[in-house]
Amino acid sequence: MLSAGLPGLVLLAACERPPTEPLAARDVSQPAGWADELAMPVPQDLNPDPNVLELELEARIENVEIVPGFKTPAWTYNGTVPGPMIRAKLGDRVIVHFKNSLPEATTIHWHGLRVPNEMDGAPGVTQPPIESGGEFRYEFQLRDAGTYWYHPHTDSSTQVGRGLYGAFIVDDPADPEAFGDDLVMLLSDMGLDEQGQLLPADSGGNFGDLFGREGAVLLVNGKVRPTLKVRNGKQQRWRLINATRARYYNVRLRNHRFMRLGGDNGLAARSADVYNLIITPGERADAVFTPADPPGSTNVLRWVPTERGYGSTFSRPSETMLLLETVADAPVTPEPIPTELRTIEPLDLSSAKHRTLDLTIAIKSKVEMGVNGVPFWNAKPLEIALGDTEIWRIVNNTDFSHPFHLHGYFFQVQDDARVPEWKDTVNVPTKSELTIAVRFDERPGAWMYHCHILDHAEAGMMGHLVVRDPNAPQSLATPAPHHH
Ligand code: C2O
Ligand code: CU
């Protein structure tokens, strides 16, 4: 068994700044060292321009300690799991000098960020795979505040499962201070044996593909059950990122509720008082947590099983993700959280085109997943005219839920019961359907969509679309789908 309270596992490269700096920049009313155990490394900024963040990222295998006393040969960015937290402000330009020192090809996808098409990291679609030993320069401007992340897009179930992911935060300096100090928690899991060795990428065979591979070891910022120090009444803005291959998070804390601010693309239209935070693979949650436990007490942040289809909750216990220690300091009075957060205009759907995407699973000699019955390696791209708005009915008659993700554009879920917000990933529960609206207003090119249970994506539940500028019809060849 893994014990609680692991010694900190912060593997800082010599060039990196101390990890705590960006977390508590605004405020000193949290307990000292409140987030030390949770801090992620921050890359060195190579560019003196305050509006440019320029950094080096290297994907490489590195021994990291996850199970106490053992070394896991994890796949890392810059030697740590997760990789460095990239954090900059709205409008900044980011330049990433990327080097692939893995034994396999890879790419980086900037999940949720509206980057130029050729920076999107989709192998064989927006760029060739970056071979072992190869380099690539990613460069883009940050157009949307919010909580994002980055991960490979080749053999993604394996590469993400071995540790390749990092947080990417775009700050809006205009956000209200009442949200409290900002804490980023990247949630992941790993399939490890008792000696910390990685389970084979295809563990469970067809069942692994079908159910999606959940690693048994839960990590918060790469740590097993770390401790967060809080002060009664002192708010914290939590940004939770689900970077697992397949695990759904349902996060609960005894005696507490959360004020949900939004998720994928920053703030929603209104804040919402919620009992739990559900974050499916690829999604993010942005919420204010107000510690309410008596000074001197300890509480436990729990992962609670969530229905995501056949057998996904049956006799599964909840698990401890994080320990919360309320320090003895006198309580402070929480600040009121605004109700109205942001204006989100509904898309004009008057001339929208309609499509149905049916998420499908066929059991052959191997599990073959697809969209409208076609796995990605046989799929023709959806053809879309630049400037069009489309309404997609996403149908799921399979026995499993699927978190549907679209690259390049945010969408609006058509559901009056939800607080309006812009999303890039949304859960489509088993035996249900939902409708999204997207405006393909700019950045013509080829963009992916797929289930973010990465085992499902690799089993075929993935496709791409081509947004064509009708005034430049020759400018874009139809790319060939990539099949490794
Ligand atoms: Cu985070 Cu194509 O995915
Ligand atoms: Cu799926």
Q: How far apart are CA 120 and CA 423, in angstroms?
A: 17
Instruction: Provide the pLDDT for residue 300.
Output: 98
Q: Ligand 1: which residue has its CA nearest to atom 1?
A: 111
First to last CA, the chain: 36
Is residue 221 within 8 A of residue 276, CB to CB? The reply is no
d(CA 133, ligand 2 centre) in Å? 32
Which ligand sits closest to the CA of 369? 2
Q: Is residue 151 in contact with ligand 1, taking CB distance under 6 Å?
A: yes
Once rounded to an integer, what is the mean pLDDT over residues 116-142? Answer: 97
Q: Is residue 402 in contact with ligand 1, taking CB distance under 6 Å?
A: no
d(CA 361, ligand 2 centre) in Å? 9
d(CA 217, ligand 1 centre) in Å? 22
Once rounded to an integer, what is the mean pLDDT over residues 221-236? Answer: 96
Beta strands (DSSP E) in 290-352 are: 298-303, 319-326
d(CA 264, ligand 2 centre) in Å? 19
Q: Is residue 223 in contact with ligand 1, taking CB distance under 6 Å?
A: no
Q: 353 Cβ partners below 8 Å, 6+ apart?
A: 388, 389, 390, 391
Q: Is the pLDDT of residue 15 over 70?
A: no
Q: pLDDT confidence of 480, banded at 50, 70, 90?
A: low
Q: Give 354-368 pLDDT, tens digit per residue.
A: 999 999 999 989 999
Which ligand sits closest to the CA of 401? 2
Q: pLDDT confidence of 372, banded at 50, 70, 90?
A: very high
pTM over 0.85: yes
Residue type, 343: T
Q: Is the pLDDT of residue 5 over 70?
A: no
Q: pLDDT confidence of 19, banded at 50, 70, 90?
A: very low
Q: Is the pLDDT of residue 398 over 90?
A: yes
Q: Is residue 284 in contact with ligand 1, taking CB distance under 6 Å?
A: no
Q: Give 333-357 pLDDT, tens digit per residue.
A: 999 999 999 999 999 999 999 999 9
Instruction: Give the other-Cβ count within 10 Å of 80's Cβ.
Output: 25
Is residue 188 within 8 A of residue 244, CB to CB? The reply is yes
d(CA 166, ligand 1 centre) in Å? 13
Instruction: Provide the pLDDT for residue 376.
Output: 97
Q: pLDDT confidence of 107, banded at 50, 70, 90?
A: very high
* Nearest-atom index, ligand 1, CA of 457: 2
Q: Is the pLDDT of residue 44 over 70?
A: yes
Percent helix / strand / coil, the chain, rounded to 5: 5, 40, 50
Which ligand sits closest to the CA of 157? 1
d(CA 157, ligand 1 centre) in Å? 11
Q: Is residue 405 in contact with ligand 1, taking CB distance under 6 Å?
A: yes
Once rounded to an integer, what is the mean pLDDT over residues 120-149? Answer: 97
Which residues line ion ligand 2, judged by CB < 5 Å? 402, 451, 453, 456
Q: Is the pLDDT of residue 484 over 70?
A: no
Once rounded to an integer, what is the mean pLDDT over residues 207-219? Answer: 94
Q: pLDDT confidence of 13, banded at 50, 70, 90?
A: very low
Instruction: Provide the pLDDT for residue 470.
Output: 86
User: Which tokens in the block code for residue 472?
Assistant: 């430049």
Instruction: Provide the pLDDT for residue 178.
Output: 76
Instruction: Provide the pLDDT for residue 10.
Output: 35
Q: How far apart are CA 365 and CA 363, in angstroms?
A: 7
Q: Ligand 1: which residue has its CA nearest to atom 3?
A: 111
Instruction: Give the other-Cβ count within 10 Å of 176's Cβ.
Output: 15
d(CA 407, ligand 1 centre) in Å? 7
d(CA 161, ligand 1 centre) in Å? 14
Instruction: Provide the pLDDT for residue 315.
Output: 81
Q: Is residue 282 in contact with ligand 1, taking CB distance under 6 Å?
A: yes
Half-sphere exposure in the Cβ direction for 51 (13 Å, CA): 6
Q: How far apart are CA 55 and CA 124, in angstroms?
A: 25
